[in-house]
């Protein structure tokens, strides 16, 4: 299917890890790509805007900067995310709300800011980077899993609200991917995870990026409200 030209893309947390692989895949596809960072700067060749997704004013300022540089955001990838793992009995309220604020409310903030222009353009592609654990659950990740499960309800509600305006909202649910985030896991936990993954290996960030660019492409124009796993078979059945 023919692509309808270069789009204005914004990837939150696109300065490293999965977000960076996603940003690079869009650049390779000929799109105009901006990525957010929280002060670390961005790798050479990418357009970076400073933005903490927990700060509504910073989100607004970042979008304004992107709009001036490359036009209104047409493709939004809500990828920024954190973990703060501990068992429920030890988890304090701040650990819960901080993770939900960054992962879920952050995704909502950027979505709300993006949809204004998407509605005007009658075009929009939104992809949420969730996680297999949002659907399977994971001990020690009540906060993280709740935030990632919330993205499914959000994408599906947006699909129902805005689907008729040529705006799609989908979820990509990666399994375990080689990044700084999984670097933190103990060797025992890594072994345990690999034992449970039918593919027997972690994903490369580029394998997640491939699903994301597909969902943003014209070929995926009738896919919305979907949850696409990229997990080596770990979450089968969802």
The residues assigned a catalytic role are 144
**Cα–Cα distance list, 161 to 75, 110, 115, 225 (Å):** 17, 16, 11, 11
Q: Which residue, 82 or 117, is less far from ligand NDP as judged by CB? A: 82
Residue nearer to ligand NDP on the CB measure, 2 or 180: 180
Tokens standing for 123?
A: 């075009």
Binding positions for ligand NDP, rule: CB under 6 A: 12-13, 15-19, 36-38, 40, 51-54, 79-82, 102, 106, 129, 131, 174, 176-177, 179-182
In the complex, minimum distance from the CB of residue 166 to ligand NDP, in angstroms, rounded to a whole number: 26
Residues 6+ apart with CB under 8 A from 149: 130, 134, 135
CB of 225 to ligand NDP, least distance (A): 19
Report the nearest approach of ligand NDP to the CB of residue 53 (Å).
4
Q: Which is nearer to ligand NDP, 162 or 172 (CB)?
A: 172
Half-sphere exposure of 122 (CA within 13 A, CB side): 2
**Calpha distance 66→49 (Å, rounded):** 7
Structural tokens at position 213: 């660019």
Q: How far apart are CA 126 and CA 136, in angstroms?
A: 23
The structure tokens listed for 46 are 């990418």
By beta-carbon proximity to ligand NDP, the closer residue of 8 and 12 is 12
The total of other beta-carbon atoms located within 10 Å of residue 90's CB is: 9
Residue 50 beta carbon to ligand NDP: minimum distance, rounded to whole angstroms: 9
């Amino acid at each position: 299917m023919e692509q309808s030209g270069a789009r204005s893309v914004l990837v939150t947390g696109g300065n490293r890890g999965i977000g960076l692989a996603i940003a690079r895949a869009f650049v390779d596809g000929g799109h105009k790509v901006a990525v957010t960072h929280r002060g670390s700067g961005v790798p050479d060749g990418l357009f970076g805007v400073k933005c903490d997704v927990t700060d509504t004013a910073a989100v607004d300022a970042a979008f304004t900067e992107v709009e001036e540089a490359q036009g209104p955001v047409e493709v939004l990838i809500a990828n920024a995310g954190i973990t703060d793992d501990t068992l429920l009995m030890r988890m304090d309220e701040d650990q819960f709300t901080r993770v939900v604020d960054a992962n879920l409310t952050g995704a909502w903030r950027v979505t709300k800011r993006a949809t204004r222009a998407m509605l005007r353009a009658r075009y929009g592609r939104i992809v949420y980077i969730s996680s297999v654990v949002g659907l399977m659950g994971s001990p020690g990740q009540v906060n993280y899993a709740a935030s990632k499960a919330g993205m499914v309800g959000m994408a599906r509600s947006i699909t129902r609200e805005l689907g008729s305006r040529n705006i799609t909202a989908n979820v990509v649910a990666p399994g375990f991917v080689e990044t700084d985030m999984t670097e933190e896991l103990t060797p025992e936990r890594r072994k345990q995870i690999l034992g449970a993954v039918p593919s027997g290996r972690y994903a490369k960030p580029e394998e997640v990026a491939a699903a994301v660019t597909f969902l943003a492409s014209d070929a995926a124009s009738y896919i919305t409200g979907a949850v696409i796993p990229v997990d080596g078979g770990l979450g089968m059945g969802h």
